[in-house]
Amino acid sequence: MNNRLYQEALDVAGSYDIATPKNSVVLYSISYLPTTENRDKAFAYVKSHPKSCMIEDTVCGKKLVELGVGYHEVGLSPDEVAHIWAVASRRFINGVKGKVTAFVDKADVRSVFRTVELPMLLDNPAVTKINNMDKYQFAEQFK
């Protein structure tokens, strides 16, 4: 483990700006999955829908990407990387308003999406729909 990088990334995840416009958030899940297919689909979606944004498009996310967290070997374990993104995701989801687009096919039960983002989306009264469905109906597929 790279203690300095881990602490710096945690500080970024917990304090850098993470705001997004209403009806713009795009999520994906790749934690513990064998491919990056969901992330690839999310990036393609954002590219073709310029008013959409992912956590990587926020000041916080851009800094985490710059640090290399989650994109290449940086000396952190998968659990450490997941924890860093979970800290950022809690703040991210707390501020989401309106509709959310999610690329979460086969999301692992341990993933940041399943453990942090989905429960928070359901608890966030400002979130209205996920993938154009009632958010509770959408969540049924993960029970």
Number of structural domains the chain divides into: 1
* AA identity, residue 143: K
Question: What is the pLDDT averaged over residues 35-47?
Answer: 95
CB 77, CB 83: distance < 8 Å: no
Phi and psi at 127, nearest 5°, equal: -85, 125
Confidence (pLDDT) at 75: 81
Expressed as residue numbers, the domain containing 100 is 3-142
Map the chain to HEC letters: CCHHHHHHHHHHHHHCCCCCCCCCEEEECCCCCCCCHHHHHHHHHHHHCCCCECHHHCHHHHHHHHHCCCCCCCCCCHHHHHHHHHHHHHHHHHCCCEEEEEECCCCCCCCHHHHHHHHHHHHCCCEEEECCEEHHHHHHHHC
> For the whole model, what pTM was predicted?
0.89
104-122 per-position pLDDT tens digit: 999 999 988 999 999 999 9
State pLDDT tens for residues 57-100. Answer: 999 999 999 998 876 557 888 888 889 999 999 999 999 999 99
The pLDDT value given to residue 73: 58
Residue 72 has a CB neighbour count (10 Å cut-off) of: 6
8 A C-beta contact, residue 12 and residue 85: no
Higher-confidence residue of 45 and 76: namely: 45
The per-residue pLDDT for 132 is 97
Query: How distant is the alpha carbon of residue 104 from its chain centre?
Result: 10
